[in-house]
Structure 1
Amino acid sequence: MDAVQAPNIVAHITERLLYRRLIATGVDPEESMKVMAFWMWLEAQGFKELVRKISSNNDKFLALVADEAIAVLATLFPSPSSAPISHNLCPITSIFSGALSIHDIFGNKETVSGGVADVYNRVCRALFKDVLEERSGKVEGDAVSVGTKLNPFAREWSPAIERVPEEERCLFLTFSKGNPITEDQIFNFFNQKYGRCVERVYVHWSDPNNPALFGKVVFNRCSVPAIIMGRLEQAKFTVNSKPLWCKRFEVEKKGLSKKK
């Protein structure tokens, strides 16, 4: 079996610097390598100079776009069940797509997952090996050989909820009078629009005779509310033909600070 040719480190200085930045922002080194594999694969699909463009932004932006990559990878290499790729999963990353359609790029899940895994095996494991060893303090085992059917992303690949206060992962929801929206409808709406991002939903049903007027949605990552709201103070959606208003969560709102 042919050996994997080591990449030219000098030609990948930008990638190595960005990999170190990802780790410095708190992303696990192995997970950072998978994120880099995804971005480098996108570059090969026509996202011109994606790594350089991401590198030119600050750490806050880097964290947001990294969260998008992690969400996509969780969909590409899920455990235990599989799910289709949401075309609305990368609103920030798609800024760099130019004339390309992210919809078309994500059209075939097997092609995407196979391509990303190939970049991971052929390039990233060799390109970042010394950095990974430096961080872990020990030499890793042999890289997965090219051509193997083993999935390098499968082992312990499940995105953990960031250890940040729940309030930073929430949005406060209000409904129009007489038009409440159920927890299941809200749960399905955000998951379909932004990928599997909802941890739980709470709707305040204080009186069976009076429709609910407010609630909250808790996401599994603090970047999701930032992506949804952007610079808006209030965002409006239509869920099952009913209006839904979202605001950043305020912990002092009565009845909402406690978990369900």
Structure 2
Amino acid sequence: MASTSIVIKEQFNAFHKIDRVLYNILVLGLWREPSESMQIMALWLWLEGVGFGYIVEKMSYLPLTLINELVDEAIMCLSCINNNIVSILPENMEVHMLQSLLEKDISLQFFLQNQLKAIQGIPQVMTEVCQRALSKITQQAIIWNEAQSIADSQRSASTMGVHSISTRGSYGGNYKVLI
């Protein structure tokens, strides 16, 4: 029975390989927080499920700077879903990058109009897909980020008084894709 569950897990991970690659980019390439990144992945996968095409696959080919902008838009979308914030956003606040990627009409208003579906669907995707397919990467990212923070702290302590600029930046550095 144990070997059957291992095979099923391997098949599940293989099926979600592109999702795992993009999540890896978020948490290790862009240094995004793992739990927020998992929510973002659930949002994108939910959008795929409601008819917006292959978002994750398209994103995986983009440069890190564009992926980072799409992440920022996804955070706005999640805020809209969870907090009804569309009414307080300036008119020029929209999801232009997402709309361009999808080549379809989508706006923050879409998320407000589909709020109930999203509130039900996104957690379902999170449970059924994201937590299962991305958990090992999440664990590795947490360990790697902690180790990197310790190294940064030690580097800072050893160079106190020396004026320097961090080379790590918001887009991370070298990272290994865990699939």
- Which bin holds the TM-score, normalised by the shorter protein? 0.5 to 0.7
TM-score w.r.t. the length of structure 1 is 0.45
**Higher Rg of the two aligned structures:** 1
- Report the equivalent of 1:136: 142
Q: Deviations over 1:154-184 (max 9, x none)?
A: xxxxxxxxxxxxxxxxxxxxxxxxxxxxxxx
SS of 2:85's partner is coil
Given that residues 72 and 89 in structure 1 are in contact (C-alpha distance below 8 angstroms), is that contact kept between their aligned partners in structure 2? no
Q: Percent identity?
A: 25
Q: Does residue 1:101 correspond to 2:100, yes or no?
A: no
The number of residue pairs the alignment matches comes to: 129
Is 1:13 matched with 2:27?
Answer: no
Q: Deviations over 1:114-164 (max 9, x none)?
A: 211211121101111111122234xxxxxxxxxxxxxxxxxxxxxxxxxxx
Structure 1, unaligned stretches of length 5 or more? 138-260
Matched-pair contact (CA < 8 Å) for 1:47–1:96: no
Equivalent residue in structure 2 for 1:83, among 57, 63, 85: 85
In structure 2, list runs of 5 or more residues that go unmatched.
1-7, 144-179
Per-residue deviation at 1:108?
Answer: 2.4
Higher strand fraction (1 or 2): 1
In structure 2, the partner of 1:29 is: 34
In the TM superposition, 1:52-91 aligns within 5 A as 52-78=57-83, 82-84=84-86, 89-91=94-96
Q: Between Structure 1 and Structure 2, which shows a larger proportion of helix residues? A: 2
The DSSP-based 3-state class of the residue aligned with 2:56 is helix
> 1:113 deviation in Å?
2.2
Matches within 5 A, 1:164-203: none
Q: Which secondary structure state, in structure 2, belongs to the residue aligned with residue 57 of structure 1?
A: coil
Q: Is the 2:79–2:85 contact (alpha carbons within 8 Å) kept by the matching residues of 1?
A: no
- Displacement of 1:45 in angstroms is 1.6
RMSD: 2.4
Which structure's relative contact order is higher, taking Cα pairs within 8 Å and 6+ residues apart? 2
